[in-house]
Every structure is written in C-alpha cells, then in structure tokens.
C-alpha cells in the first residue's frame, strides 16, 4: 500500500540530498511542498514509501531518477518580458555600447547566459529585444545560452510552444511579429518563430557544477534563483558568475534579490544590476 506520509527524518534526508546536489535550501516551511511533489514520483515509480524511494535514489539509481526528483523539487515561475526595467537597461545602456564600440572585445559577438531559464520565456525575451534593437542595421553574431536543472522545463523551452494565456500581456504587434498561431489541434497555442529560436541554445546545467563553457559572457541573467540558496551557496555562485563574465559584463538578478551580505567583486550599478569592472 502506498504511503505518502513524509516523516521529519525523511524530510531532513531529502533536504540534505537536494542541497548537496543542487544547492537548493529546503527549510521546514517547504515540507508540504516536498511531500506533495515527491508523492508524484512515488506513484510513477511504484515505491511504497519515501524511505524506499530515498534508498533507491541514493544507493541503486543510475542517476536518471535523481534528475527526475530534482525536476520535481525545483520551482519554475516565469513570464515573457518579466522585470521590464532590466530590458530598459539593455536598450538604454548595454545595447548602445555594442553598436558604438564594436571594436571592443566581445562586443561584435555578444554572448548572453540565461541561468535558470525555466520554460524559456526569459531567453526568448532577450532574443526579441536584440532583434528589436538592432534589426538589420548592425550585424551582430549574438548567441544566448539558456540553462536549467530541470529537463522537464527545458523540453518545453526547446519546443517554444505556449498557450495563449501566457501571451495575454504581450502586445498584439509583438505576438504577430515573433509568434506563429496554431491551428487545428494546436488551436489556442503559439509557437516562437525561427528568428528567435535560432539565437538560443538550451542545455541542462546544474549551477553547483564547474562551468564547462569555453567563452566568457557579456551578460548573465540569473533572476529569482538565488533566493532558494543559503548565503554560502550564493557566495560560491556569485564568484562563479564573476569569473564567467568578460570585463565590463553585467549580472542581472531578481528585483527581490540582492548581493548585500555577500562578499563579491562586482560593481553595483542599480538595484538588481551589477557589473564586472
């Protein structure tokens, strides 16, 4: 018989495992969330209780179920053109430097990283503003790397198909320009057009792992991700982002986040915007 009762001991063990593997800090207030999300894994895998499932994930699993467990635990909330002030900063401060000073290293081929891209709205929004600002007047070899720990949300991001409700707040002119309306069996859905899709590479990446990327970035966007980490993990991640940026590159974090209390090497520009000097 299936038991979905999560004991305090089991909660502590799963919390420690999640923290070890991906840095997410699950405090006591998250116990019900953990119970509900892992209960779905119990039903899908056939394990009778959380103790048996924990033993399998830590002792016998090849790694596939661990990935699915982390998928289940990670929280994914996003929308198109979220936190508009960041896009205003790109248009008013960052993009003009690319157009005016293309001789500077990296400016003629900007590389952006959407770290924690969820279902893809953020990297597609970045791609849209790159095309909107530069159009065909300035040729830039711009690429966007979009990563997330969840294979589930990455699969949706790669498809680039969204229900109409996700685009309700997007101006109709933008929808017509960058999305294709679905018909027949796809009625009520929109697909991102190739002009945006071709700029983005989606990859699974755990932010706790060493960076495998060969190129440094002009911009890293990691919004509303570090709020799930404790200070020690935030410190390590901030150092990692600094090392991954070109000189003069920017880091965007969520407007509800701050680097206050973390020893970092960034220059503060404005709320949620930091620069590598």
Catalytic machinery residues: 37, 148
The separation between CA 176 and the C-alpha centre of its own chain, rounded to angstroms, equals 26
């Amino acid at each position: 018989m299936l038991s979905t009762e999560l004991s305090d001991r089991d909660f502590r063990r799963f919390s420690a495992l999640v923290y070890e593997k991906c840095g997410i800090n699950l405090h006591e207030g998250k116990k019900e969330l953990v119970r509900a999300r892992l209960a779905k894994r119990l039903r899908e895998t056939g394990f009778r209780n959380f103790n048996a499932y924990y033993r399998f994930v830590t002792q016998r699993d090849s790694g596939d179920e661990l990935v699915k467990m982390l998928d289940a635990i990670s929280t994914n909330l996003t929308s198109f053109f979220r936190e508009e002030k960041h896009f205003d900063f790109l248009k008013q401060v960052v993009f003009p430097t690319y157009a005016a000073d293309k001789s500077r290293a990296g400016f003629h081929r900007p590389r952006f990283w959407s770290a924690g891209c969820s279902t893809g709205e953020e990297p597609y929004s970045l791609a849209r503003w790159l095309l909107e600002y530069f159009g065909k007047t300035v040729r830039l070899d711009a690429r966007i790397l979009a990563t997330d720990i969840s294979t589930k949300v990455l699969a949706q991001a790669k498809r680039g198909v969204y229900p109409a409700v996700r685009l309700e707040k997007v101006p109709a002119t933008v929808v017509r320009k960058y999305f294709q309306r679905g018909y027949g069996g796809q009625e009520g859905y929109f697909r991102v057009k190739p002009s945006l899709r071709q700029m983005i590479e989606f990859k699974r990446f755990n932010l706790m792992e060493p960076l495998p990327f060969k190129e440094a970035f002009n911009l890293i966007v990691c919004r509303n991700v570090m709020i799930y980490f404790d200070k020690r993990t935030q410190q390590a991640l901030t150092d990692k982002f600094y090392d991954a940026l070109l000189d003069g590159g920017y880091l965007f974090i969520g407007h509800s986040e701050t680097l206050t209390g973390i020893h970092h090497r960034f220059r503060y520009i404005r709320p949620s915007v930091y620069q590598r000097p």
